[in-house]
Amino acid sequence: MPELELAPYAVTKSTHGRRVLEPSPPGRSEFQRDRDRIIHSAAFRRLEYKTQVFVNHEGDLFRTRLTHSIEVAQIGRSIARRLGLNEDLVEAISLAHDLGHTPFGHAGQEALNDCMKDHGGFEHNLQSLRVVDLLEERYAAFDGLNLCFETREGILKHCSREHAAQLGNVGERFLKGRRPNLEAQVANLADEIAYNNHDVDDGLRSGLLTLEQLSSVRLFAQHLEEVRTAYPDLAERRVVHETVRRMINTLVTDLIRQTEHNIREHAPRCVDDVRAAPPLVAFSTEMHEFNRELKSFLRTHLYRHYRVMRMTAKARRIIGDLFQAFMEDPRLLPPQFNPQAESDRARSVADYIAGMTDRYAIREHRRIFAIEEI
């Protein structure tokens, strides 16, 4: 199949390299190989049983981190293709971006970060990098997946200066105030488009949100109106889907248009120019504002809904209890997580807990604390 022509500012087929030198893969690009390694990793399969807002056992139709990551890849690839960027790289970054997430979504991340506050903290972006650089044990010649620099820099979306200084070339941009490649910028915003929209859909499906409430959000209201005018008798589930898909389309189209404008204005000739320029992948000012309104609606009405807060509280308790139990007695840890040195104990415990799925964490809590399980 003929290769689509890449723009001069795209990441081309060659890479800045892998941490361990490997010959180029015959028959696929470096970034296709990264994507394939990610899909075959254990951490990727675990995403099926990790959630963002709803806990895995709440219903079969809610998004999990796996379906979320696939939606991010879909949106990211569509944008990349339109902009002449490297689709394989966007796909690899999208599929890997949540690999380091704890069980129970943001509640889990916050709880684990609190537990780790005297031990260097816990941050899911850094953990995603740790998974692909170190924790996956699959290859004979190296730890981790030995991904390309460009994929790794895309996975490391945020990073403190303190951590960046310890990460070598992939941390450099945070110290020098530079941007990552455009493919990473696309994956980042595709993530945001995906979760805002699927959280609206899941929020409505769960009954935690209502169409009436959502009518206060301009982006939603405008598309809802459009659907209702065109199809006055449509069943509600279809109305929701039609509205959400139009929202995604509007956001994607706006993002492409604004990014094309930014690229024309800054005229990058290569990836290095992209790194030195301000962020080029962006929404228009108006769409940025609509998007912000949607995010703040979701924060108030969904993420802080009392039923979500109850689950959040339970998740914090589970993570806190597990952390404390393993710290007090590391002999409870499975042997592969038993730290070699006393000084590594907290990080080993964090790695073990972060790798758990929602249901595994619930079961592990029961195995350790419930007397009737003995």
Counts for the chain of helices (H) and strands (E), in that order:
18, 0
Stretch that binds Mg ion, among 97-105, 177-185, 293-301, 319-327 (CB under 5 A): 97-105
Q: How far apart are CB 101 and Mg ion at their closest, in Å?
A: 8
Q: How far apart are CB 211 and Mg ion at their closest, in Å?
A: 26
Cβ pair 80, 183 in contact under 8 A:
yes
Q: How far apart are CB 192 and Mg ion at their closest, in Å?
A: 8
Question: Which of 68, 98, 137 has its CA nearest to residue 354?
Answer: 98
DSSP classification of residue 3: P
Please state, in angstroms and rounded to a whole number, the distance separating the CA atoms of residues 347 and 138.
21
Stretch that binds Mg ion, among 28-36, 98-106, 278-286, 302-310 (CB under 5 A): 98-106
What secondary structure, in 3-state letters, does 124-171 show?
Answer: HHHHHHHHHHHHCCCCCCCCCCCCEHHHHHHHCCCCCHHHHCCCHHHC
Q: How far apart are CB 195 and Mg ion at their closest, in Å?
A: 6
One-letter amino acid identity for 35?
A: R
Instruction: CB nearer to Mg ion: give 191 or 199.
Output: 191
Residue in the shown chain whose Cβ atom is closest to Mg ion: 191
Interactions with Mg ion, residue window 26-55 (CB under 5 A) = none
Q: Residue from 30, 71, 98, 123 that binds Mg ion (CB under 5 A)?
A: 98
Instruction: CB nearer to Mg ion: give 69 or 348.
Output: 69
Q: Residue from 136, 191, 201, 364 that binds Mg ion (CB under 5 A)?
A: 191
Stretch that binds Mg ion, among 187-195, 248-256, 261-269, 291-299 (CB under 5 A): 187-195
Instruction: CB nearer to Mg ion: give 12 or 125.
Output: 125
Please state, in angstroms and rounded to a whole number, the distance separating the CA atoms of residues 19 and 30.
13
Q: How far apart are CB 103 and Mg ion at their closest, in Å?
A: 15
Please state, in angstroms and rounded to a whole number, the distance separating the CA atoms of residues 96 and 186.
14
Chain residues binding Mg ion by CB under 5 A are 98, 191
